[in-house]
Amino acid sequence: MQAELRDVAAGLWLWRVVHPDWDPGVDWEPFVTSTCVESGGEVALLDPIAPPEDADEVWDRLDSRPPTLVVVLKPDHVRDVDLFARRYGARAFGPSLFWRDDVPDTDLEPIEPRSELPGGLVALYDGRGRNETPLWLPEQRAVVFADALTAPAGELRVWATPWHEERALPALRALLELPFEHVIVSHGEPVHDRAAYERALERPPWTG
């Protein structure tokens, strides 16, 4: 499978490809998710990885509705922000700090929790202390995560951190105040509903 394309809701779709740095020793599955959302007249790509050049179905859809924003949700998800920003002339957004061996060439406009991006997308606080900002998509009633949650073997779980009980869980429970219906994660099965999110908060965290 070169690229899997999946519609989630009106104006919200994703594609999945093998991460270029995946190897059998890592604690996540090879296929990872890139998300595209249309909101408030904008088209935003979230943590995108470029599909293969011959993945025509994905590229044709992107070219037909060119992205106007590219958003990096956490410092180690730089991925292909430069490629998409150049190809489409899109504005780029993301964290203020990056790992020194993985810094984008594109100047990213900084976002932090409570930042509102063009199109009405809102950055959230996940309590995990790693500069990740999940995004609330109000038009689609969806939340998109980078690595706060994962779904190995299809089961949604909170990814473990040393501050799981005191920081992560309170922050993630606070997100239940949002009227979301869809949850999208980067690793594992990408799409989940609100009930799966609630169950994930009661399960032991995922440690790989």
pLDDT at 37 over 60: yes
The CATH superfamily assigned to 4-200 is: Ribonuclease Z/Hydroxyacylglutathione hydrolase-like (3.60.15.10)
Q: Averaged over 121-140, what is the pLDDT?
A: 94
Q: Averaged over 2-12, what is the pLDDT?
A: 94
pLDDT at 183 over 90: yes
Q: How confident is the model at residue 127 (pLDDT cuts 50, 70, 90)?
A: very high
pTM greater than 0.75: yes
Q: Averaged over 160-169, what is the pLDDT?
A: 94
From CA 110, how far away is CA 80, in angstroms rounded? 17
- Whole-number pLDDT of residue 28: 67
Q: Averaged over 127-137, what is the pLDDT?
A: 91
DSSP letter (8 states) at residue 171: H
Q: How confident is the model at residue 45 (pLDDT cuts 50, 70, 90)?
A: very high
Tokens of residue 84, six digits: 């998409």
pLDDT at 123 over 60: yes
Q: Averaged over 114-140, what is the pLDDT?
A: 95
Q: Calculate the alpha carbon distances from 160 to 15, 129, 156, 201 in Å.
A: 26, 12, 12, 11
Residues 201, 173 contacting (CB under 8 angstroms): yes
Beta-sheet pairing, 42-46 with 69-71: parallel
Q: How confident is the model at residue 24 (pLDDT cuts 50, 70, 90)?
A: confident
Q: How confident is the model at residue 1 (pLDDT cuts 50, 70, 90)?
A: low
Q: Averaged over 37-61, what is the pLDDT?
A: 96
**Over the chain, what is the mean pLDDT?**
94
